[in-house]
Amino acid sequence: MKKIIIANWKMNPGTLIEAKELFDSLKEISREFRETEIIICAPFVWLENFSSQGGLKRGLSLGGQNCHWESHGAFTGEISASMLADLKAGYVIIGHSERRQYLGENDLIINAKIKAALKAKIKPIVCVGERQNEEMHLVVEDQIRSALNGIPAAQLKEIVIAYEPVWAIGPGDPCSPDNALSANLFIKKVLTKLYNRAGAEKTAIVYGGSVDRKNAADYLSRSQMAGLLIGGASLDAQEFGEIIKSVGNI
Ligand code: PGA
């Protein structure tokens, strides 16, 4: 499996000019590392700017950060998965903890959004993870069960699961590679229980939360993750480049 490095820009940077500059730098970096799939999840209003004029190359894809569960309709302010597909997004982040916390996303909504993304042929990047003082096993199993409810085994290969312990996101404490390894193995166990071993092996599991140039390689080698979901460090082209370099030969 190709390594998957996902940049989650969140609601950043401030202007289109800065966004274009950042995208161009990341595009340069992706040219050197073809064995890595770099996915830029930027605010959707900019996706067309990036995909036009041959902006996308092999190994470089675009993603959204959210989609609605319906394909169209009276949902003011929302965007559907098929609209993202029209903008050449190949992926969409679903169920990020910030949306669960600030925008009322619950497990039912997340499940419906995953189904909508799959229907639009966009790969969902499904975020799961416990908050401070919560038990990882209980929370993560519950979140995965609800997220994948009604999704057939054949579609597992289209899904990325991002383990993001909420306490490790942003300025939080990074998760130790050993903890991330336990979570990875546990998620595989849950998928095996819900589906089968082959299905579990086809699902890409990535780590997110305070990833930087110093710890990135460990999450791939020691934690055996298929990739990384990077927030803050993806807004700094130099730091992001160092991360890609550090995982380049794993
Ligand atoms: P961070 O964010 O890398 O800034 O911790 C990760 C995320 O929220 O996806």
Task: Indicate if the pLDDT at residue 49 is higher than 80.
Answer: yes
138-183 pLDDT, tens digit each: 999 999 999 999 999 999 999 999 999 999 999 878 899 999 999 9
> How far does the centroid of ligand 1 lie from the alpha carbon of residue 150, in Å?
29
Determine the atom of ligand 1 nearest the C-alpha atom of 233: 3
| Residue of 6, 167, 230, 240 to test ligand 1 pocket, by largest number of atoms within 8 Å of CB | 230
Contact 160, 124 (CB under 8 A): yes
pLDDT over threshold 90, residue 129: yes
- Active-site residue, selected from the candidate residues 96, 98, 141, 158: 96
Helices (H) and strands (E) in the chain, counts: 10, 8
231 Cα–ligand 1 center, Å: 4
Query: Is residue 57 pLDDT above 80, yes or no?
Result: no
Q: Which domains, ranges and CATH numbers included, belong to the chain? A: 3-248 (3.20.20.70)
Q: What is the mean pLDDT of residues 79-91?
A: 97
What integer pLDDT is reported at residue 200 of this predicted model?
A: 95
Average pLDDT of span 122-129: 98
Average pLDDT over residues 198-211: 96
Please give the mean pLDDT across all residues of the chain.
95
Query: Residue 169 phi/psi, 5° resolution?
Result: -80, 145
- Tell me, yes or no, if 96 is annotated catalytic: yes
CA 84 remoteness from chain centre: 15
Interatomic CA distance for residues 107 and 127, integer angstroms: 11
Residue 58 reports pLDDT greater than 80: no
pLDDT tens, residue by residue, 214-240: 999 999 999 999 999 999 999 999 999
In a mutational test of the pocket of ligand 1, which residue from 211, 214, 215, 243 has the highest number of ligand atoms less than 8 Å from its CB?
211
R_g (Cα) of the chain, nearest Å: 17
The residue among 59 and 107 whose pLDDT is bigger is 107
User: How far, in Å, are 58, 67, 191, 241 from residue 234 at the CA level?
Assistant: 19, 21, 29, 9
Band the pLDDT of 74: cuts 50, 70, 90: very high
Q: What residues does 83 pair with on adjacent strands?
A: none
Grouping H, G, I as helix, E, B as strand and the rest as coil, residue 78 is coil
Our measurement of the distance from residue 175's CA atom to the centroid of its chain's CA atoms, rounded to an integer in Å, reads 17
Mean pLDDT of 103-111: 96
Annotate 161-189 with DSSP letters as a single string.
Answer: EEE--GGGSTTSPPPPHHHHHHHHHHHHH
Q: What is the DSSP letter of 222?
A: T
Q: Which residues pair with 104 in a beta bridge?
A: none
User: What pLDDT score was predicted for residue 55?
Assistant: 65
Q: Which residue has 């990036």 as its token pair?
A: 50
> Catalytic: 164?
yes
The number of residues in the chain equals 250
Give yes or no for a contact between 110 and 126, defined as CB atoms under 8 angstroms apart: yes
User: What angle, 0 to 180 degrees and rounded to 10, lies between the N-to-C axes of helices 237-248 and 16-32?
Assistant: 20
pLDDT at 2: 86
Residue 94 has pLDDT above 80, yes or no: yes
Give Cβ neighbours of residue 218 (< 8 Å, ≥ 6 apart).
Answer: 177
Give percent of the chain above pLDDT 90.
Answer: 89
Question: Ligand 1 pocket by C-beta < 6 Å: which residues?
Answer: 8, 164, 169-170, 208-211, 229-233
Output b/e per residue, 153-168; b: 16+ Cβ within 10 A.
Answer: bebbebbbbbbbbbbb
Confidence of residue 102 (pLDDT cuts 50, 70, 90): very high
Look at residue 54 in the predicted model and tell me its pLDDT. 67
Amino acid 53: pLDDT: 66
> Where residue 34 falls among pLDDT bands split at 50, 70, 90?
confident
